[in-house]
């Protein structure tokens, strides 16, 4: 392991590879305990999470629902509940995966907020967007979608005196692959420190079907490239990112991309600058 690999892994609190199934199961229990601890410490009783159809929200959602069920059993308080929210922009091309995720998660409550009108309305009002090239405007509006989804989740959480769950994990954090104050904004992030393969392993451990656990990841924020794979945006595979974070050898080019991207996106992982 290089010094930079060790430094970056430590900064992201990366969890070592699971040694066996028992270690995986123990990590699942630790994550559920964390979720329950966050709710109890907050004095609140509701969790909210947007479900996209990808493995990250699938895994975080099922962990949330299981945690809520345990809290109800442990406390006898039926007020604890989990709200899973669909946040499509118009018609989502992989809506079938999102619906399958909801069926797997089995949330106490499901809701849908279509963000298309809000995104379009804001886009029409921001005159600075009108002079951009199609590709640049598409990119900026992708970030708008992520931030509108954040606003919707926090609105639902506020209305129910609850907390918003985030789905960020180490393999996304190292690449800064989230929208600042968008999907990067949350009250608790129960997948933190895990690499992508570990998220998939937890999904499988919880009983998720292969087509969801091993689905090709996509942020799906760009209109011009719907369903664009994360790995295409990264320029490296998740397998290489995971290996890097676990201190294993990777291609020289992959190493350079990961380190360069980590350094360039540092601002996303830190508090706002202050004098």
Which residues are catalytically annotated? Answer: 56, 172
CB-based contact 187:162 (threshold 8 Å): no
Tokens of 32: 């559920």
Q: For the chain, how long is the longest CA-to-CA vector?
A: 57
DSSP code of 235? Answer: S
Residue 97: its H or E element: helix 95-105
Residue found under tokens 């508090």:
271
CA distance 229 to 201: 20
Question: Residues comprising the binding site for Mg(2+)?
Answer: 56, 172
| Strand ranges (E), the chain | 46-50, 81-86, 109-112, 162-164
Question: Residues comprising the binding site?
Answer: 50-57, 147, 167, 172, 180, 187, 196, 218, 267-268
Angle, CA of 124, 125 and 126, to the nearest 5°: 100
133: three-class secondary structure by DSSP: coil
CA distance 162 to 153: 10
CA distance 152 to 83: 12
> Which burial class, exposed, middle or buried, applies to 235 when counting CB atoms under 10 A from its CB (0-12, 13-18, 19+)?
middle
Question: Residues comprising the binding site for deamido-NAD(+)?
Answer: 147, 180, 187, 267-268
85: three-class secondary structure by DSSP: strand
CB-based contact 49:196 (threshold 8 Å): no
């Amino acid at each position: 392991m290089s010094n930079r690999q060790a430094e970056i892994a430590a900064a992201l609190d990366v969890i070592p590879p699971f040694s066996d199934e028992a270690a995986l199961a123990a990590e699942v229990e630790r994550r559920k305990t964390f979720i329950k601890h966050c709710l109890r410490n907050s004095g609140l009783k509701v969790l909210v999470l947007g479900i996209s159809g990808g493995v990250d929200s699938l895994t975080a959602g099922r962990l949330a629902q299981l945690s809520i069920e345990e809290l109800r059993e442990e406390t006898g308080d039926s007020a604890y509940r989990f709200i899973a929210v669909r946040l499509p922009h118009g018609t989502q091309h992989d809506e079938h995966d999102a619906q399958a995720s909801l069926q797997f998660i089995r949330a106490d409550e499901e809701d849908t907020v279509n963000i298309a009108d809000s995104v379009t309305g804001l886009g029409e009002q921001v005159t600075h967007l009108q002079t951009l090239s199609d590709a640049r405007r598409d990119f900026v509006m992708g970030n708008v979608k992520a931030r509108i989804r954040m606003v919707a989740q926090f609105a639902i959480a506020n209305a129910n005196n609850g907390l918003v769950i985030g789905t960020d994990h180490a393999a996304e954090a190292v690449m800064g692959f989230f929208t600042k104050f968008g999907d990067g904004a949350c009250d608790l992030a129960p997948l933190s420190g895990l690499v992508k393969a570990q998220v998939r392993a937890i999904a499988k451990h919880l009983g998720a079907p292969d087509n969801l656990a091993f689905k090709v990841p996509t942020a799906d924020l760009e209109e011009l490239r719907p369903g664009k794979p994360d790995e295409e945006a990264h320029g490296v595979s998740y397998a290489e990112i995971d290996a890097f974070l676990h201190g294993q050898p990777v291609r020289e080019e992959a190493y350079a991309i990961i380190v360069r991207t980590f350094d360039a996106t540092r601002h996303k992982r830190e508090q706002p600058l202050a004098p």
